[in-house]
Amino acid sequence: RKEVEQDPGPFNVPEGATVAFNCTYSNSASQSFFWYRQDCRKEPKLLMSVYSSGNEDGRFTAQLNRASQYISLLIRDSKLSDSATYLCVVNPSDDYKLSFGAGTTVTVRA
């Protein structure tokens, strides 16, 4: 079983729509969780960390469900510039290594 699994999508949504997707992780002892964004042929960029109580950053809301071992990302009022691949990232152990999901592709259309 992969450490981090994501629905690859693609999610095709119109501008202004809300889109949400999850990822699951296998290691119940995981401590840190992140969403990264990766544009085509570019490096990943940190979008937001995910905290136990859930957190919001502008139009982006992240939730963590430890009992079910999943993380979610919700994007409100989608913009064309939100089109990207969103990587679910988990720190599964005490060291600083990160495990990456394969990404969920979101395409926002005009």
Partner 1 sequence: GAVVSQHPSRVICKSGTSVKIECRSLDFQATTMFWYRQFPKKSLMLMATSNEGSKATYEQGVEKDKFLINHASLTLSTLTVTSAHPEDSSFYICSASGTGAHEQYFGPGTRLTVT
Binding site for partner 1 (CB under 8 A): 4, 31-32, 34, 41-46, 49, 87, 91, 95-98, 100-103
Nearer to partner 1, 42 or 79 (CB): 42
Do residues 13 and 19 make contact, with C-beta atoms less than 8 angstroms apart?
yes
Do residues 87 and 70 make contact, with C-beta atoms less than 8 angstroms apart?
no
Nearer to partner 1, 46 or 80 (CB): 46
The DSSP symbol for 61 reads E
| Least distance CB 46 / partner 1 (angstroms) | 6
Do residues 10 and 108 make contact, with C-beta atoms less than 8 angstroms apart?
no
Q: Which amino acid is at 85?
A: T
Q: Which residue has the tokens 């691949």?
A: 85
| Least distance CB 81 / partner 1 (angstroms) | 19
Nearer to partner 1, 75 or 87 (CB): 87
| Least distance CB 90 / partner 1 (angstroms) | 10
Nearer to partner 1, 76 or 91 (CB): 91
| Least distance CB 72 / partner 1 (angstroms) | 18
Structure tokens at 80: 């064309």
Q: Residue 50 half-sphere exposure, CB side, CA atoms within 13 Å?
A: 27
